[in-house]
Amino acid sequence: MKRGRMVGVILVIVGCLGLAQIPVKFTLDWAYQGPQAPFLVALYKGYFAEEGLDVTIDRGYGSADAVTKIATGVYDIGFADINSMIEFNVRNPERALIAVAIVYDFAPFSIVTLRGRGIEKPQDLVGRTLGAPAGDASRRLFPVFAKVTGFDPTAVNWVTMEAALRERLLVLGQVDAISAHFFTAVINLKAMGVQEEDIVVLLYAEHGLDLYGNAVMCSPKLLEERPEVVRAFLRALTRAWHDTLADPEGAVVYVKQRDPLIDPAVEVERLRLAIQVCMLTPDVLERGFGDVRSERLIRAIALVAEGFGLPYAPKAEEVFTGEFLPPLAERLPKR
């Protein structure tokens, strides 16, 4: 029986038997775009439902906002920057979260500017004006980037703006540079007619910040009280991750199903860039979807603690657990 028909049969059986599905409220980090596709694939292809979960997905408004909403119980599970979570946990230990699956193995944090603005290296940002929403993950991590690359993070001027205006104000010259996930800014600028060769990207990871990026996270209380929900969520997401890697165009169909206003061609390009750089890395090829290398995570936590001026660096096991991931054989990318 074909999988699509099988899903339908399963759902009919569930309905006929009156078996209640477990409601799960989930938040994304940002708007409905190509890189968020795996979650929508899992939803619309029925993978969550097959696992007995009734998942509702909402768009996000930045990782800092998503972390706060998960920690305060507005959402059960979410997708956000693990580094913003680390900072939140140290400052709010009574509401600390834990990551259960890494989605962006290579962090997409960056500063983006245009050729001719005189910014070719991080130190060129001193005295310049940068723009971004207040909750933007790259902006939140800018102090870490500045300290690692050798300049005072307070030596730049920040302008807070709506995300929809970020690239436009850069093109208009109202800011010298912007902070953003690189695949968001680059694709948006190209969609506005900026030539790729005129876009300058300072990737944090290429300047000494080997950080993990976005992860699936929840409260330790959820892991303790409903571990089967987290395992089921990650099984469904792993299936959708494989589907997304195999067919980015097909995955973006489900993004458009959620937001009819997106441009599929733009989002496919954005998704392909995220897969190429952030999702299908050498570590993922070896360790599969969702996992970490403990020594790398320990170094990343130390960098974040130093950059944010945190009073201590949490232990790796307080930041991430791989206990709820599917077996390795199910998480390895298909060759």
- Give the contacts of 238 (CB within 8 A, at least 6 positions apart): 289, 290, 325, 326, 330, 331
Between CA 300 and CA 267 the distance in angstroms is 30
Backbone angles phi, psi at 78, to 5 degrees: -155, 175
111 touches 136 (CB < 8 A): no
The predicted-structure confidence for 269-325, as pLDDT tens digits, reads as follows 999 999 999 999 999 999 999 999 999 999 999 999 988 889 999 999 999 999 999
Provide Rg for the chain, Cα atoms: 20
For residue 13, the model assigns a pLDDT of: 47
Task: State whether residue 167 is helix, strand or coil.
Answer: helix
Summarize pLDDT for 49-97 with one digit per residue, the tens.
999 999 999 999 989 899 999 999 999 999 999 999 999 999 999 999 9
Answer left, alpha or beta for residue 23, where phi above 0 means left and psi between -120 and 50 means alpha: beta
pLDDT at 19: 57
Helical packing angle, 37-44 and 227-246, nearest 10° = 110
Residues making up the chain, counted from first to last: 335
In the chain, DSSP finds a helix count (H) and a strand count (E) of 17, 10
Write down all domains in the chain, each with its CATH number in brackets.
3-106+212-331 (3.40.190.10), 109-207 (3.40.190.10)
Minimal CA–CA distance to 67: which of 80, 57, 55, 76?
Answer: 80
The pTM assigned to this predicted structure is 0.87
**pLDDT of 186-244, one tens digit each?**
999 999 999 999 999 999 989 988 999 999 999 999 999 999 999 999 999 999 999 99
